[in-house]
Every structure is written in structure tokens, then in C-alpha cells.
Amino acid sequence: MIHEVDEVLKSLLEGGALAGSGIDVAFDAPTRDWAARRNAPTINAYLYDIREDVARRQRGQLPVMDERDVVVKRRRPPRWFRLSYLVTAWTRQPQDEHRLLSAVLATLLPRELLAPSELPGALGALGMAVPLSVAGSQTESRSLAEIWSALGGELKPSLDLVTTVPFPAYPDYDAGPPVTEGAVVRVRRLDGPDGTDAAEPEERAHRPPQVAAVREARSAARRSRGTDGTGIAP
């Protein structure tokens, strides 16, 4: 799923206010060595933190239906994970970097929620919208200064980009076939009143209300059509 989020972010950053600019988009760690090898204006989105959003965790199971709306499988609800990216601009002049960061803000601020149709692969197949926030308050345990110190680089202007995405909680469980018949109980005495074998067993059937309703609807439809197909009951 993480690589699919990278694809979405790359598409967003290459479009919007930066469309046609030819700016490179990279996901490398912005270390001193990487900065020394860079030879073109670049937007860097470094994934520095991955953690579960436990407030979104759900229990139970979700039904999986086929094209007939029949439950064929059951699966656990997805787990949601918060992916945090450090977005920086790299050019030769600080003013140019500020312009690029401004363009990134103009591109991402309107995109607070990504629809499933905009998401690729398995991420889009889940059918869930993905929230996206940029330049929000710092809520992670690690400060930006600590991140830059770990990278071995100098502190630069940056945007904190956070997206919370669902991850499937495997496995799926096969569901039993739908109930179409009620339970049937057969009751028979061990012997007849005169000592002979008992008669045919008495049958008692229980049908769930929904099964009975479907059968009644089918019977009513047959009666309305009639046995000769003319629509007139005999």
C-alpha cells in the first residue's frame, strides 16, 4: 500500500500548480550525499514516520458481497495507518525553494480528501476515501529538528504532509450459503397405540420470516400470472 500512496503523491506534486514545470519528485532520504548528487530542481517527499491510527481501529467482521448482493465472504475491518512525509524543495536559491513550497501548498491544500477513484490498485479497490493534510500541527513524538539531525543535514524549510490510509486485515473467511429453507423436525412415536409400528412421522417445519415472505411473494406472482400464462387465475 505504501508504494501506491507514493504514486498518488507523485501524481499530485507533478500536477496542480507545478504542472508542466519539469520539477523532479523524489522520495529519497534528503541526506548530505543525496543533496550533493542532485543536479536539478527537486521536490523531495521523505517518508519519515509510519504508525497506526488506533482511534480508527474497528472490531468485528465486514460482509463481502457478489454481484447478486449475496454474502460470500467475511473479512476483518481494515487497519488505518498514518504516513508522515517531510516535503522539501531543493534548488540553488532559497527564494526559488520558497516558490516551490508555495506551489506545493497551492496544490495540496484543496485536496483534503482523496476519492477511491483517484487511488490506484488495491488501495482504490477498498472503496474508502483517504484524508490528506499538509502543514498541520506537529503531533509526532519526533520533532523536525531531531529528524534533520538523524539525516545529518542542515535544517531547511519543510512541509509536514500526513495521509491516513487503510490496510487490509487478512485473511478473508468464507461465508456459508444463504438460508433458503427453514429447519424441519420429524416427530414419531416409538410404537402405535395397539403395539404396532407407528404411522408415518409427523413433520413440523420452521421457516425464518424472510424465507416465508419470499415464498409468499413468489406464490402471489404465480397466482397473478395464472396457470395458462394469460394473467387470469383459473
Q: What is the pLDDT of residues 165-174, one digit of tens each?
A: 998 877 777 7
The confidence score (pLDDT) of residue 68 equals 72
107 and 209 part of one domain: no
Do 188 and 104 lie in one domain? The reply is no
Q: How many CB atoms lie within 10 A of CB 72?
A: 15
Is 221 part of a structural domain of the chain? yes
> Nearest-CA neighbor of 23 among 133, 104, 105, 109?
104
In a domain, 192, yes or no: yes
Task: Please give the grid coordinates belonging to residue 160.
Answer: 509536514
For residue 169, is it within any domain? yes
Give me the mean pLDDT over the 163-186 stretch: 74
pLDDT, residue 26, reads 92
Give a yes or no: residue 233 inside a domain.
no
Structurally, the chain folds into a number of domains equal to 2
Domain that holds residue 128: 2-174
Q: Tens of pLDDT along 189-207?
A: 666 555 555 556 555 555 5
Same-domain status, 132 and 198: no
pTM over 0.85: no
Query: Both 37 and 110 in a single domain?
Result: yes
**Does any domain span residue 234?**
no
Answer whether residue 102 shows pLDDT above 90.
yes
Residue 232 lies in a domain: no
pLDDT above 90: percentage of residues in the chain: 24
Residues 79 and 188 in one domain: no
Residues 144 and 42 in one domain: yes
